[in-house]
Structure 1
Amino acid sequence: MSSTDRIERELVINAPVARVWAAITEPDQIMKWLGDFAEIDLRPGGRMVFGWSAHGRFNAVIDEVEPTSRLVYRWSSEDGAEVTDGNSTRVEYSLAAEGAGTRLRLVETGFDALAYEPEVRAAKHADNVGGWRAELGELKEYVEA
């Protein structure tokens, strides 16, 4: 994997695992830290939609759910597009108790497989690097409040 195929972020959130899990899986909570629109059918094969007024709405399909510990989905990199092999990346959240808090690990992969020119793939990767940095900071702030 190239350095532009993968994004990894890890942080400790001063809140119990159940609270962090709710914040990443319940639409009303997702909208408090990740965009301004969310729909989620929390089951393998279930559909998700994430929306930002400035960026559009992005469809996703859930691959795996292990309540309170793991959520994996593929999401489209194109506003309004259905999820396909050529337009989606894979996002994995892993949660584990750490003392009274939660260690959250996020890994997003698949940028190299996007069906775009290399510079477009690199730009999408760079956008998501910055996006996750900001959004996970907002998640931490929201959950700890």
Structure 2
Amino acid sequence: MDDIEREIVIHAPAARVWALVSEAGWWIGDGDRGGQTRSREADDIDVVTDPRYGTFRIRTEKAEPHSYLAYRWLDDGNERATTLVEFWLSEADGVTTLKVVESGFVSTEHRDGNIRGWRMQLDLAKAECER
């Protein structure tokens, strides 16, 4: 199954973009995170509950501040049925390129839905970070 790869240019420093992408599950929902709740299940596992979309467990796999983050969706402990979401940030002259790659899809339907989702989420990230 093919990976999803997207990138966007954000007119903001990497530190500002990092502040957003280092919040596990920031991409859950339709951009309004105001009704979401977040909790910590373990040192590396966050739980995000969105009133519309449900509850999601996300493990932080690796973090290199201001340049790279990797998260894994956790599905009732079945890691084989999850995807890996990786973010790369690179900054030049106060402008940051944010790249996302999601890999490990088990179905075409799941992948196709996330293609549209990442397009929307990167646009939301750009709008939020450029404010």
The whole-number CA distance in structure 2 between the counterparts of 1:12 and 1:97 is 10
What is the aligned length?
Answer: 126
Cα deviation, residue 53, structure 1: 2.6
Q: Does 1:103 align with 2:97?
A: yes
**Structure 2 counterparts to residues 1-145 of structure 1, below 5 A:** 2=1, 5-26=2-23, 30=26, 33=31, 35=33, 36-37=35-36, 39=38, 46-76=44-74, 81-111=75-105, 114=106, 121-145=107-131
Contiguous gaps of at least 5 residues in structure 2: none
Q: Percent identity?
A: 33
Q: Which runs of 5+ in 1 are unaligned?
A: 115-120
Deviates more, 1:94-103 or 1:14-23: 94-103
Whether the 8 Å contact between 2:37 and 2:50 is mirrored in structure 1 is no
Amino acid at match of 2:93: G
Alpha-carbon offset, residue 55 of structure 1: 1.9
> Deviation string for 1:82-118 (max 9, x for gaps)?
342222100000001122110111000000xx3xxxx
TM-score of the pair, normalised by structure 2? 0.82
The answer to which structure has the higher helix fraction is: 1
Secondary structure class of the residue paired with 1:19: helix
* 2:7–2:122 contact (8 Å) kept in structure 1: no
| Partner amino acid, structure 2, of 1:67 | P
